[in-house]
Chains A and B, each alone.
Chain A
Amino acid sequence: MAVANEETVLSRRFEKVNTVLEKYGRNPLNLIQVLQEVQAEYRYLPEEILTYVATALGISPSFVYGVATFYAQFSLEPKGKHIIRVCDGTACHVRGSMKVLEVVREQLGLRGEDITTPDLLFTVETVACIGACALAPALMVDEEVYGQMDQEKIENLIEEMIEKEKGGDQ
């Protein structure tokens, strides 16, 4: 069942890209809006889709790529199902947010410049203040805030989430 879903998703998404292109009259001046809607569909901007968009708009792929990498709202990498945002605002920074980040990444086995786990379950990012300075260091998982993070709390949190994901599959 889950697989069949994935499939209709593929072709629906591509149809959506074409609808978006038509909606904006295949006009290169609307590139940013087109990219926003494409990203809403795919959760990120896959390379081949950007190439397709460039073809359809009659502009060079390097220009599309330039725009997609300039604005922080666009992502060229697949995002995980859950987004963990480690706060690196001033308050959290002073209280060791970099250590938090390190532990989170280590727990998830992220290496080098990777921000998303290979199973596409988690993406780890840093953000500026999330308005929970009193609980610094803080992080967010999707929409939920967790405060006063230390090694143990992080480990528990992540273990719990992984468990839940596994359970969900069975």
Chain B
Amino acid sequence: MNNRVHEKKALTIDGQEVALQNEKNILEVAKRVKVDIPTFCYHSELSVYGACRMCLVEVEGRGLMPACSTPPEAGMVIRTNSPRILRARKMNLELYLANHNRDCTTCERNLNCRLQEMSSRMGVDEVRFGEREHMVPQDRSNYSLVRDPNKCILCGDCVRTCQEIEGIGIYDFSRRGSRALAEPAFGKDLSEVECVFCGQCSLRCPTAAIVVRSEVEEAWEKVLDPEKFVVAQIAPAVRVAVGEAFNLPPGEITTGKIVAALKKIGFDRVYDTSVSADLTTLEESEEFFRRLTGKGGPLPHFTSCCPSWVLYAERNYPFYLKNLSSARSPQQMFGSVIKNFVTQLEDVPPEKIVSISIMPCTSKKFEARRPEFYQDERADVDIVMTAQEIIKMIKQANVDFRELDPIPFDVPLGLGTGAGVLYGVTGGVTEAVLRYAHEKLTGEKLTEVEFSAVRGEKYLREAEVEIAGRKVRVAVVFGLANVQQLIKEIREGKRTYDFVEVMNCPQGCIGGGGMPLAYPDREEIMKRRAHGLYSADRLSSLRKAQDNPAMKLLYEKWLQEPNSDIAERFLHTGYRSRKRITDEVIRIQEAKESQKVDIAVCVGTSCYLKGSYSILQGLLELAREHGVEDRVSIGATFCLERCAEGPNIRINEDIVTGVEEHNLREIFEKAVMSKLASV
């Protein structure tokens, strides 16, 4: 018997013989034959950590082994559910629960929690190791996420997610024993570190230690206020995922049901963000054409509809801010349309209108609060709810979602094209722009609208498309770790593009941090969500942004034409360099006299690499040489938000850029000595 199994390169799982197909670990083999081995720390898209010990299986002759990190071998006889394993798993869970704040009934993840589900599944009926001893404060510092370290079970999923997908590394394990935590540097809040609020960590956290910050209560308050006229916009990705929470298959398009549910809840108008995606396509394409023909900014043109990417670029790529499309994201374009156009359309004063967007994304919450998107202290988007939150709201409203009869979006801003819907999946923006560009630049009708080269699951897709006799090189990339690599290669001249679409989240918005948790089989669910959007496009009678009658309405009645002055004012924005680390100063020389000059030398990453340390040394020497050590304070600071022009220093309140060894003396004598002479 054993011999036979050997020949076929097979092993046995729970008595079932399974042929091997090059799987990396036992877990994958089991998954193929529908044996669902419990895990906390395994995610197929991350490195294997192997620490939670939930996935233990018994291998005959070898004892207990973690299924996630043990490669399958022909002839192995594996049990995934022996009494010994069950005992080990239960014990393991009890240990997790002992240090976990177990207030399930009032917890954000109640009934949507992997720790809870696993405890129930394994029949944990007591916790013999006590209660959590020290409670630490929650982090409610930002608009997107709430962290509750008292719920952390140290699985390390957030650590690897932020390091491997985002390339940022916000979290790491700190301290030891019962005080150990996965937390940002120096125990800081997320708003004080380089977090881009993408929520990828929250999606993978098996407990409520990182959750979406809920705006459900605010939304209820507005919807139930008879004085308010509440307008919703629903992003493309949301429609293929809300059904998951109501036992409908992932990827099923539930647009009509969501609209029906929102109407029952009391929303006055429900519009489709695909419409403003079409608007984005027109505005952004025209901007891109100007770059392409040398009449606008530099190439490559980077898309700007992902707020996490925009924030990351502002902190790390100051030299590319001119390459970033000035077009606002679809959410913000719609916000502007609601507060400036719907007001006229419906004849409601702006102070009565409440704009609520329903998004796949935690970062959109942050985007809506950027000061650029306020007019007269009124936000274009008042409330941002993620898919997770709208699901909660529908449940609270006692609506039987499965049985709802679908109804269409409101007119005239409720009909998006297939191109607009594709914004929900990576490659979609590019495809929408190509569909527009082709017709616009050649004057011919485009019949084959699908650009398969920019579709798929790969984190980087490239294509060369010929439009009007010109080769246009496009790239589509997701995950900021991949973006870092790509940009490095572009800077080194190894790759050249005209158009680069960047999304923070794996597969784009369908993988957004505010989407339902996609558990247990993330890969499969993501496939289906993408498929759902592609079929929504295929089923649309209109598949090109330029064919959308709403565009005609908006431009004729209000915006004139793409990139007109009025469009620039209401649909475009600007970017600025931002510092990565909040105000910390290293004191190096302290002036003793009160009439003094303060100098801060930037040692932020960008300036450091350009040699700020030797500038620091130089300044100390110059102060000594001029005999003014007592009147000059020198410190090092982390970023002066002018990285592109660095190395930079600040002299009292003035920032001096481009400071180098050869001009340092001149700067010191002019800017420092003259100030000292005048005080």
Contact = CB atoms under 8 A, between A and B. Distances in A.
To the question of whether A and B form a pair in one complex, the answer is yes
Chain B CB count within 10 A is highest, among A18, A48, A50, for A48
Interface residues of B, number: 37
Contacts of A27: none
A61 interface: yes
B176 A14 contact: no
B539 interface: no
Contact of B186 (A10, A11, A65, A70): A65
A64 B184 CA distance: 11
A11 B601 CA distance: 13
B183 interface: yes
Chain A CB count within 10 A is highest, among B168, B172, B176, B638, for B172
Nearest to A48: B584
B174 A66 contact: yes
A10 B174 contact: no
B588 A69 contact: no
B409 to A, nearest CB: 44
A51 interface: yes
A76 B186 CA distance: 9
A88 B29 CA distance: 52
Interface string A40-55: 0000001111111011
B185 A61 contact: yes
Nearest to A71: B176
A3 B592 contact: yes
Interface stretch (B89-97, B602-610, B658-666): B602-610
A18 B611 CA distance: 12
B185 A48 contact: no
A108 to B, nearest CB: 23
A55 B603 contact: yes
Contacts of A76: 186
Given A61-B185, A65-B172, A51 B620 contact: no
B592 to A, nearest CB: 7
A24 interface: no
Interface string B178-189: 000001111100
Given A10-B590, A14-B588, A69-B174, A64 B185 contact: yes
A60 B185 contact: yes
Nearest to B159: A62
B174 A49 contact: no
Contacts of A52: 586, 603, 636
A63 B586 contact: no
Contacts of A51: 185, 581, 584, 638
A69 B175 contact: yes
Contacts of A158: none
Nearest to B170: A62
A56 B585 CA distance: 16
Contacts of B175: 69-70
B588 A62 contact: no
B588 A60 contact: no
Interface residues of A, number: 29
Contacts of A47: 186, 584
B170 A60 contact: yes
Chain A CB count within 10 A is highest, among B169, B185, B587, B636, for B185
Contacts of A65: 172, 174, 185-187
A91 B604 CA distance: 51
B586 A11 contact: no
B173 interface: yes
A11 B620 contact: yes
A14 B616 CA distance: 10
B171 interface: yes
Nearest to A72: B176
Given A51-B638, A52-B636, A60 B173 contact: no
Interface in B591-620: 592, 603-605, 608, 613, 616-617, 620
B191 interface: no
A129 B174 CA distance: 27
B608 A10 contact: no
A7 interface: yes
A50 B176 CA distance: 19
Interface in B612-658: 613, 616-617, 620, 629, 634, 636, 638
Given A10-B590, A48-B585, A51-B581, A66 B603 contact: no
A66 B588 contact: no
Contacts of B81: none
Given A11-B620, A51-B581, A70-B176, A62 B586 contact: no
Nearest to B163: A60
Contacts of A60: 163, 168-170, 172, 185
A63 B170 CA distance: 9
Interface in B153-168: 163, 168
B589 interface: yes
Contacts of B581: 51, 61
A56 B607 CA distance: 11
Contacts of B586: 14, 46, 48-49, 52
Contacts of A10: 587-590
A137 B65 CA distance: 48
Interface in A11-34: 11, 14-15, 18
Chain B CB count within 10 A is highest, among A6, A7, A61, A70, for A61
Contact of B171 (A62, A64, A70): A62
A56 B604 CA distance: 9
Contacts of B616: 14
A22 to B, nearest CB: 10
6 contacts: A50-B185, A52-B603, A61-B186, A62-B183, A65-B174, A70-B174
Sorted nearest first, the 8 A-B pairs with minimum C-beta distance are A60-B169, A61-B185, A66-B172, A62-B172, A48-B584, A62-B185, A65-B185, A69-B174
Given A15-B617, A52-B603, 16 more contacts: A11-B620, A14-B588, A14-B636, A18-B613, A47-B584, A48-B585, A50-B185, A55-B603, A55-B638, A59-B169, A61-B186, A61-B193, A61-B581, A62-B172, A62-B174, A65-B174
Interface of A: 3, 6-7, 10-11, 14-15, 18, 46-52, 54-56, 59-66, 69-70, 76
